[in-house]
Structure 1
Amino acid sequence: MRTKLYLAVLLAAATILAIAAVASAQGSLTPQEELGENLFFDVNLSLNNNQSCATCHSPSVGWTGPDSAINAAGAVYEGSIPGAFGDRKPPSAAYAGDSPILDFDGEMWVGGMFWDGRATGWTLGDPLAEQAKGPFLNPKEQAIPDAATLVAKVLASDYADDFIELCPDPDILERYNCIGRAIAAYERSGEVSMFTSKYDYWLKGRARFTGQEIWGMTLFRGKAQCAACHVEPLFTDFTYDNLGVPKNPLNPATIADPTFADPGLGGFLMHSGFPEDVYGVEWGKHKVPTLRNVDLRPFNSFTKAYSHNGYFKSLEEIVHFYNTRDVPGAGWPAPEVSANVNTTEMGNLGLNHGEELAIVAFLKTLSDGFVPKK
C-alpha cells in the first residue's frame, strides 16, 4: 500500500510543479522551451521525414494518440517505416515532468518514464529528457539510424541557429542530450502541462462542480480507491501496477505473435541484469498514467484508448473493469499477464452503475481548456 508519507512528499512536489507550470503559461516560452517545441513538432526528425513526436502525442487529445480509428483497434501507432509498430499505446506527454529517477523505495519501484520505466533518469538525472531521446532512434518509431544523423537533421532545420546557441558543444552525444533536455523543458512548460481544467479552477474557487461530479470525486478518493495510485493533483504516483488488463487482440504485437504478453517493468529489469527475485515480482506491471486530460478529445464520437495496450475504448468501460474484474460472471477475459495482479485496490469494488457514472463525470473535469465564468 502507498504510504502516507510518500504521498505527502509527492503532493508537495506536484504542487511546486503546478505553480511553475502556471507561471510559465502566463508568459512566453523560454528559449529552451521554444527549441523543444520546434523539435517536438518537426516531422523531418524521422527516417522518412514523416513523423514527429506530435504524430503520436497530439495536444488535441491530451498529448496522446490522435487517430480515432487506430485507437478503436490496436491503439499502437505505425512508425516512420511503413509496417513498423511497437507494442504499446502512446502515453500522454503532459504532466510527466515530476516523475523522479527510477528507484526502489523499499516497498515499490517509483519513477522513470515509458510504460516500462526504461527511461530511468540514471544517465541524465532526468527521466523525461531520457524518454524524449528514445523515439528518435527507435526503429519502430522515428527510426533515425544514429544520433549523428539526428543532429545533422536539426542543423539543417530552420531553427538551427537557436539549436547551436542553446546546444553549443559540438560533441554529438552532448547535442543529443541537449535535444532531449529541450523537449523535456517544453513538455514541462505551461503550453503542455497547462493546469487549466475545471478541476483546477474548482480548486481555485472559480468553478462549481455538479452534484454528480462531487459524488464522483468523493468516490474517487474513497470507496473506489482510485486515489491510492492516482494521487492529486497530478493524478499519478509514478509507481507500477498490473491491473489484470486483458490482451488486446488487435495489438500488432499480438497479431504477429499470439503468445505475446507484455512484461512491462519486469521485462526492463530483467534485461537490465537484475536477479529474478527482483524482476519476477514486477512482471506485467506498467506505469500508473496521469488521469489529466483522460477525456480530452476533439469531438464527442472520437475514440480514445486506455491502458498500456489500449484494450479499453471508453472511460465507462475501464471504470466498470476496475469495479467488476473479479466479480463472478462479469465476463472479462483473462489477464494478459496473470502474475502480480493488483487484487487489493480493484477488482470487486461494489460500485453500482450510478457510482461508476459519477466517477466518469469527475474524470471529465480533468480536461484542460476549461473556461470559467467571469
Structure 2
Amino acid sequence: MKFFVNILHKPLCYLVIFGSFGFGISGFINQNNSNYISTDFNDYYKIFVDSELKKLEGQIDLLNTVAKDLEASKKSLKEVQNQSLITRKSFKRIEGVLTYYFPEHINAYINGAPLDHVSPLSTSPDFENGNYYLGSIENYKNSLPLDMLEAGHYSGEEFSILAPEGLQRIDELLFSEEAFNSKVELLKLTAKLKVSFKILQDRLVLRKFYFNFEIIELSRLDVIRILSKGITGFDTPGSLNAIEEASASLYGLEEILQPLINVSASHKPSLEKLFKDTQLFLKRHDDFDTFDRLIFIKSYLNPLYKELLFLQKELKIPTSAEKYNETPSWNALSDNIFADDFLNPYYYSLLKKEEDSPELRQLGEKLFFDKSLSENNTMSCATCHNPNLAYSDGERTSKAGIVGKRLDRNSPTLINSVFSDRYFYDLRAFDLEDQAEHVIDNHLEFNTSIVEIVKKLNTDKDYQNQFKDIYNSESINRYQFSSALASYIISLRSFNSDFDKYIRGETSNLSSNAKRGFNLFMGKANCATCHFAPTFSGLVPPLFQENESEVLGVLESPGSYSVDADPGRIKNGLSKDNQHIFNKSFKTTTVRNGALTAPYFHNGAYNTLDEVLEFYNLGGAQGIGLSYEVPNQTLAPDPLNLTEDEMQDIIAFMTSLNDIPIESSN
C-alpha cells in the first residue's frame, strides 16, 4: 500500500478534552516525557470536518438541482456556472482533509483530471443502484477503507475505461462552447457527484479520531497542492478560477489549524500574520493571467510551509513516517518546497537509505562507466548518459551497441530521474533496478544479463575487493550489483539551479526574463499542469507517488503534418496499459536541465526549445488539424497565443533550471 494512503491509526491517550466547536483551547499538557507534548483537539477536528462535509453536501445538491433546472430551461447557464464556482470553493475548504485520507477516491470520482482513465476495477461501479464493490453502501461503509479497495484488491484481469467525472469535468464543460448543448451530460455528472461524494462523506462521518500529526501533515501537503496544482489552473480547466479557490483552501487550512496555532508560544503571531497577508495578496491580485506566482510562492506559500514545520516542531508533533516507521515519498521535515531534501529518493528504489554510502556510490559510478559489462565491451551506461550533456547523449535517438544501429528513442537526462514511480518513456519499468535490467537484456544495448554480469564481476579481483569491503561477503550477487548502480543514479539529483536558489531566498540574482518565464510556465502557457513543480516533471503532487504520461501528438519533424508512429505506452507489455487511451502516450519528463539536453521528445525530432515551444503554442497535433490521427490527445488543442517574446521568456526560465550536480573524471 502506498504511503499516506490508508494509514490505519491507533488511538492515542488523550489528556485534554476539547469538546466545543470554537477557537478556545481547554488545555496544554506537558507529559513527564519532556520530548512529547500532548494536545487533544479531536472533538474540534471532527466537528469541523463533519460541518464542512455537510456544507459541501448541500452545495453539491444545489449544483445538481440547478443542472436539472437548466435541462428544463428554468435556469440560465450563468446561474449554473455560479453555483459550480460556489461548490468548488466549498470543496477547496476541505480538500486537504479529503485528499489526505482518500486520494484515490478523490482522483477517480470527485476532482480528477477531465480525461478518460483506467478503472481500478474490472467493471465500472454502479453508484446509483448501490453496486459499489461489495453490494450495498451499508456493506461498503463497514468494509475496508475506500482507497484500500481502489488500490487493486478487487481488480480483475480486464480493466474498463472510465469517462471523466467530478468537479474538474463539470468545470471544463460548463465554461466551454459546448456547455449549452451538453445539459444531459451535465445532469448525469452532477448526479454521479452526489452519490460518489455521499459514499465519501458517510465514511468520514464514521471516523472517530483525527490526530494532530495528521492535521499538520495534511495542511502542509495542501500548501504543496495549492502551489503545484491550484494556482496553475490544473483544477480549473474551464473557469480558471484558481486564485479564488486558493483563497478558499487557505481559509479552510487556517480554520482547521486554529487549535494548534492558538497553543503555540512562539509561532502564533507569525502564522496569523502569514495567513492574513497571504489572503490580502490574493484579493489584490486575482487575475489568472497576470497573477505573480513567483512572488506568491517565494513570499507567502514557502514561508507558510516552513512556519507550519516550526509549529510542528515546537509542539513536538511527530511525522507519520516517524510514527509508522515508513519510507515516505515526501519529506515532512523539509522546510522549503524547492529544497534539495523535499523528496525522499529512497522511496523510489529498492535500496534503503541505511544501506547506501559514499563507498557504494563510488562503486556504482565505476560500474556506470564500465564498458566491459556489455556483451561486446563497447557500451556503458555513460554511452547514452554523458555527464557533460546533463546525462543525456545529444543524439536524436541513441546509438546501439551494434555498429550502424540505433535505438528507437531519445535518451533523457538521468539528473533527478530517481524521482519516478515508473521509468522509460513508455513507463514499462517500476523501479531503478528494473530499469537497469531492461537495458542489460536489450539485444541492441548491453545484450547480456545480470546473471552474466555478476559472473564477470566475480572473476575481477578489483571488483571483488570493493564489493567485499562494502558487503563483507566472499561473492558478489545481483542485489549488490543493482544496489551499487542505484546508489550512483540516486546521487544524480539536484535542486540547486539559479532558479532554486532564488526562490529559496539564497540569492537575489534571477533575470527578469526568467521571472516572467516562470509565471508564464505556471500560468498562461499551461506548462505546469503537466510538468508539476518542484520537479517540473509528470510526478504528481502532492504525494509524488505516480507518474503521468501524455498524448501530445508529436510529429515526425517540426512543421510536418505526419504524426510520429511510435505507439508508446500502449505497447509497453503491461496488460493494464494496453488501452486505446495510451496509444502514443509518453512519460512526462522533467524540463530541468532541458536547455542542455537537446534534441527533444521521445523521437528526438525537435532540435531546439524554440521548436518545442512552437509545437505547444499551436496545440499539438490536434491544434494543426490532425484530430483524426490522434483522437485521444490529452494536450489541449487550443492555441496558447504566446508571443515570440513570451516563448523566449519561458526558455529563459527553463535555462535557469540548468544544474549538473556531479562532474565525473571518467
TM-score when scaled to structure 2? 0.43
Report the counterpart of residue 435 of structure 2 in structure 1: 131
Report the counterpart of residue 609 of structure 2 in structure 1: 315
1:113 paired residue among 396, 415, 423? 423
1:322 is paired with a residue whose SS is helix
Partner Cα distance (2:475, 2:570) in 1: 34
Report the counterpart of residue 378 of structure 2 in structure 1: 50
Residues 317, 164 of structure 1: alpha-carbon distance in 2 compared, 3 angstrom cutoff? same
1:260-317: per-residue Cα shift (whole Å, max 9, x none)? Answer: 821211112xx333486xx2111110000011111127xxxxxx21001111101111
Runs of at least 4 residues off by over 6 Å: 2-7, 9-12, 20-23, 168-172
Query: What letter matches 1:115 in structure 2?
Result: Y
Report the counterpart of residue 306 of structure 1 in structure 2: 600
Report the counterpart of residue 88 of structure 1 in structure 2: 409
1:8 has 2:225 as partner: yes
1:151 paired residue among 454, 475, 481? 454
Report the CA distance between 1:335 and its aligned residue: 8.7
Report the counterpart of residue 289 of structure 1 in structure 2: 589
1:199 has 2:510 as partner: no
1:215 paired residue among 507, 510, 516? 516
Partner Cα distance (2:222, 2:588) in 1: 19
Report the counterpart of residue 301 of structure 1 in structure 2: none
Tell me which protein shows more helix as a share of its residues. Answer: 2
Partner Cα distance (1:170, 1:153) in 2: 15
Larger mean Cα displacement after TM superposition, 319-328 or 206-215: 319-328
Residues 65, 14 of structure 1: alpha-carbon distance in 2 compared, 3 angstrom cutoff? farther
Query: What letter matches 2:548 in structure 1?
Result: T
1:114 is paired with a residue whose SS is coil
2:340 paired residue among 5, 10, 18? 18
TM-score when scaled to structure 1? 0.74
Larger radius of gyration: 2
1:32 has 2:32 as partner: no
The aligned length equals 317
RMSD (Å) for aligned C-alpha atoms: 3.7
Query: What letter matches 2:534 in structure 1?
Result: P
Do the aligned partners of 1:197 and 1:367 also contact (CA within 8 Å) in 2?
A: yes
1:138-183: per-residue Cα shift (whole Å, max 9, x none)? Answer: 1111212x322211233344333223454677898xx334323322
Residues 5, 86 of structure 1: alpha-carbon distance in 2 compared, 3 angstrom cutoff? farther
2:524 is paired with a residue whose SS is coil
Do the aligned partners of 1:113 and 1:131 also contact (CA within 8 Å) in 2?
A: yes
Aligned-pair identity in percent equals 29
Report the CA distance between 1:349 and its aligned residue: 0.8
Larger mean Cα displacement after TM superposition, 319-328 or 200-209: 319-328
Report the counterpart of residue 96 of structure 2 in structure 1: none
Do the aligned partners of 2:426 and 2:586 also contact (CA within 8 Å) in 1?
A: yes
Report the CA distance between 1:46 and its aligned residue: 0.9
Larger mean Cα displacement after TM superposition, 203-212 or 36-45: 203-212
Report the CA distance between 1:60 and its aligned residue: 1.1
Report the CA distance between 1:91 and its aligned residue: 1.4
Residues 149, 360 of structure 1: alpha-carbon distance in 2 compared, 3 angstrom cutoff? same
Report the CA distance between 1:99 and its aligned residue: 1.3
Query: What letter matches 1:8 in structure 2?
Result: R
Do the aligned partners of 1:81 and 1:143 also contact (CA within 8 Å) in 2?
A: no
Report the CA distance between 1:327 and its aligned residue: 9.5
Query: What letter matches 1:95 in structure 2?
Result: N
Partner Cα distance (1:260, 1:356) in 2: 24
Larger mean Cα displacement after TM superposition, 216-225 or 131-140: 131-140
Query: What letter matches 1:18 in structure 2?
Result: D
Partner Cα distance (2:470, 2:437) in 1: 17
Do the aligned partners of 1:21 and 1:195 also contact (CA within 8 Å) in 2?
A: no
In structure 1, runs of 5+ residues without a counterpart are 101-111, 121-126, 250-257, 298-303
In structure 2, runs of 5+ residues without a counterpart are 1-112, 115-167, 169-220, 229-327, 346-355, 540-546, 662-666
2:594 is paired with a residue whose SS is coil
